[in-house]
Amino acid sequence: MKRHKLFPLYIKLLFVLAGVGGGAGIAELWARQMTSRYDATRFFVPSEDPQLLYELKPGVSGLFDGLSLGRLPETHLSINSVGFRGKEYPVSKPENTYRIALLGDSVAFGWGVEIEDSIGYQLEMLLNRRKRQNKRFEVLNFGIPGYNTAQEVRLLEIKVLPYSPDLILLFFTQNDFCPAIDISRIRARWGWLLQRSALARIMLAWVLVRQNAGHLRTYASGPGLREIEMALSRLASLSKEHNFSVVVTFDYTDGLCKIVEDYAKSRSLRMVTFNYSGVLSGFHEQTKFPAPDSHPNTIGHRLMAIMTYRVLTERGILR
C-alpha cells in the first residue's frame, strides 16, 4: 500500500527531470545557433611567469569563430613554434631589416580575421612597398587576447627583446585598465565542458563581459591606473636601454585615454600616440563586427594599417 502511494511521486519526479532536461536541451540548441562552435580557450596554456598567467600554445592550429554572445566569421588560427600568431621569424635580426613588434590584446592579435587581413600583416606589406635604401620591414605580432598593459610590457621583457625590435607598437584598449584574467585556469577547470557545450561558452562570454564592465567602474581609476603608469614607466626605461621607439595607439576616446596620454607627457616618456577611434567609429557598421562583438573586422584592420603607415612615415618615426 505504501509503495502504491509513493508511485505517483516517482512519476512526478520523472516529469520534472524530463522537463529540466528538455529545457536544457532547448537552451543548448539555441546556444549553438547563437555563439561560437569552437572552444577558444584551447589556444592557451599556463605561463611559467606569474605575471603573464597564460600564453598562446606553441604549434597549435585550428578553426576559430570568437568567444562572445555572437558568432564571428570562421577563421583559421595558427600559432607558431614560439607561441605567437603568424609565420616564423629568426630571433637574430637579418641585416638591413627594421623590426616592428606589435604588443596588445585581441585587437593586435587579429581577433576574427585571417592573418593576411590583420593589421600586422597589412602594415608589413605597405612598408615593404616603399623603396627605402634596400631596407626590409618585418612586423612581428606578439598580441595575445585578454592581456593588459602590464602583461604586455612583461612579455616585451622576457619574450620580445631577444628579437631586437626597432619599434614597439603598443595597442591600448579599455580592458587594459582591468585586472588580468587567467584564461588557462578557466581552461583547466572548465575546458571539458567548454569543448562540448555551446551554452557553457555563451555563459562564459557573458560572465567575462559583465566582469570587465564592473572592473571599468571600480578598478580602472585606482589600481588599474597605477598598474598602467608603472608599466608605461618600465616601457620607457626599456626603450632607452635597448634603443627602440614606442608608438601607442588607442581604439576609443574617453577620459581614460586622456589620462594615459597626459601621464606620458608629464613624465617626458619618449612615445608617440594616436587614435584609431575616429576612423573606426565614423564607419562603425563597415569596420567592426556586429554587436555584441566590437572587434575590428577585415576593413577595420586595413584602415588601421593605412593609418599606422601614414603616422610612421609622415612623422618621421622610422629610423
Q: How far are the Cα atoms of 154, 155, 159, 264, 296 from residue 49, in angstroms, in the given order?
A: 9, 9, 11, 27, 30
Query: How much is the pLDDT for 244?
Result: 92
Lookup: cell for 171: 595597442
Helix/strand/coil for 249: strand
How much of the chain, in percent, has pLDDT values that exceed 70? Answer: 63
CA distance 144 to 140: 12
Q: Is the pLDDT of residue 47 over 80?
A: yes
With both helix axes pointing from N to C terminus, report the angle between 198-218 and 2-34 in degrees, rounded to the nearest 10: 70
Query: How much is the pLDDT for 21?
Result: 47
10 contacts: CB under 8 Å, gap ≥ 6: none
Instruction: Please report the DSSP string for 98-146 in residue order.
Output: EEEEEE-SHHHHTTTS-GGGSHHHHHHHHHHTS-STT-EEEEEE---TT
The pLDDT of 117-132, averaged and rounded, is 89
Query: How much is the pLDDT for 271?
Result: 66
Query: How much is the pLDDT for 14?
Result: 47
Phi, psi of 141 (to 5 degrees): -95, 105
Q: pLDDT digit string (tens) for 297-310?
A: 898 899 889 989 98
199 vs 61, more confident: 61
The torsion region of residue 184 among left (phi > 0), alpha (psi -120 to 50) and beta comes to alpha
CA distance 39 to 42: 6
Query: How much is the pLDDT for 80?
Result: 95
- Which single residue is written with the C-alpha cell 566582469? 211
pLDDT bin (cut points 50, 70, 90) of residue 165 is: very high
Under a CB-based contact definition with an 8 Å cutoff, are residues 168 and 235 in contact?
yes
Q: pLDDT digit string (tens) for 57-71?
A: 999 999 887 765 666
The 8-class DSSP code of residue 55 comes to E
Q: How far are the Cα atoms of 51, 271, 309 from residue 123, in angstroms, in the given order?
A: 30, 19, 6
239 contacts: CB under 8 Å, gap ≥ 6: 168, 245, 246, 270
Average pLDDT, rounded, for the chain: 77
Q: Is the pLDDT of residue 170 over 80?
A: yes
Under a CB-based contact definition with an 8 Å cutoff, are residues 105 and 147 in contact?
yes
24 vs 231, more confident: 231
Q: Is the pLDDT of residue 185 over 80?
A: no
225 vs 107, more confident: 107
CA distance 106 to 142: 10
The pLDDT of 6-28, averaged and rounded, is 50
Under a CB-based contact definition with an 8 Å cutoff, are residues 143 and 171 in contact?
yes
